[in-house]
């Protein structure tokens, strides 16, 4: 699972790749509950926008935000059926989380070693997500939040080395730039087809300092 990543602040890449401006006011690294930039598209108007959303999806029906501690990653195989995600899935609320890299633990040495995973090109990239809106009944605040979509990575040449021995290997779904528009506009069937690591660009992984 991905619990930690670096949201991109590369305004030029975002503008040239997606035609939008990055918002400001988010941290250098994100964890569940933190804000990060996400791209969404209105299916009514076709408008593409970039704004801040909280990492950890809060479904619209939630009584409070505590559920977000468990909803930062959504399994692509079951997102259409799980109560936390199926509303966003049915509404085709597919987003793109804009990152420079993400972090995973490797246990090959016998203890957890933090690795930074990024594109071999070192360019920013976008991770497929589901997003939703939730209203805090206590304050009236409207909160946009998201979950990264993941797929099995047991056979992925890079991602299969991470997580504890015996655990299923998973990876966030990286969407190539040429598929950005298709992902944001996809129906459920096409979204399911796009959620595979075979579409992903070349990755590299290097040991990273602990925070």
* pLDDT tens digits along 156-175: 888 888 888 888 889 999 99
Query: Residue 169: which of 194, 148, 151, 196 has the closest Cα?
Result: 151
Instruction: Encode pLDDT of 79-135 as tens digits.
Output: 999 999 999 999 999 999 999 999 999 888 888 899 999 998 999 999 999 999 999
Q: How many Cα atoms occupy the beta-carbon half-sphere of 31 within 13 Å?
A: 2
Encode 95-122: b = buried (16+ Cβ within 10 Å), e = exposed. bbbbbbbbbbebeeeeeeeebbbbbeee
pLDDT band at residue 208 using 50, 70 and 90 as cut-offs: confident
Closest CA to 129 of 88, 100, 170: 88
Instruction: Report the candidate in 49, 57, 58, 55 with the shortest Cα–Cα distance to residue 23.
Output: 49
**What CATH number does the domain located at 5-207 have?**
3.90.1680.10
Cα 52 from Cα 160, distance rounded (Å): 31
Q: Which tops the pLDDT comparison, 13 or 156?
A: 13
Give me the residue spans of the domains in the chain: 5-207
Q: Both ends of the chain: CA-CA distance in Å?
A: 18
Contact between 85 and 32 (Cβ < 8 Å): no
Q: Which of 194, 179, 193 is nearest to 39 (CA)?
A: 179
Model pTM score: 0.94
């Amino acid at each position: 699972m991905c619990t930690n990543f670096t949201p991109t602040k590369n305004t030029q890449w975002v503008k040239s790749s997606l035609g939008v401006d990055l918002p400001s006011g988010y941290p250098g690294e994100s964890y569940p509950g933190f804000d990060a930039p996400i791209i969404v598209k209105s299916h009514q108007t076709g408008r593409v926008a970039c704004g801040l959303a909280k990492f950890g999806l809060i479904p619209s029906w939630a009584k409070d935000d505590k559920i977000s501690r468990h909803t930062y990653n959504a399994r692509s195989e079951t997102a259409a059926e799980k109560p936390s995600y199926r509303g966003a899935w049915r509404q085709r609320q597919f987003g793109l989380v804009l990152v420079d890299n993400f972090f995973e633990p490797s246990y090959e040495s016998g203890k957890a070693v933090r690795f930074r995973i990024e594109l071999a090109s070192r360019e920013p990239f976008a991770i497929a997500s589901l997003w939703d809106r939730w209203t805090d009944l206590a304050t009236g605040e409207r909160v946009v939040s998201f979950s990264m979509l993941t797929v099995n990575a047991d056979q992925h040449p890079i991602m299969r080395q991470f997580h504890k021995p015996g655990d299923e290997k998973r990876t966030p779904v990286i969407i190539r730039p040429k598929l950005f528009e298709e992902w944001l506009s996809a129906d459920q069937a096409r979204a399911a087809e796009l959620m595979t690591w075979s579409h992903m660009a070349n990755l590299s992984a290097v040991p990273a300092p602990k925070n």
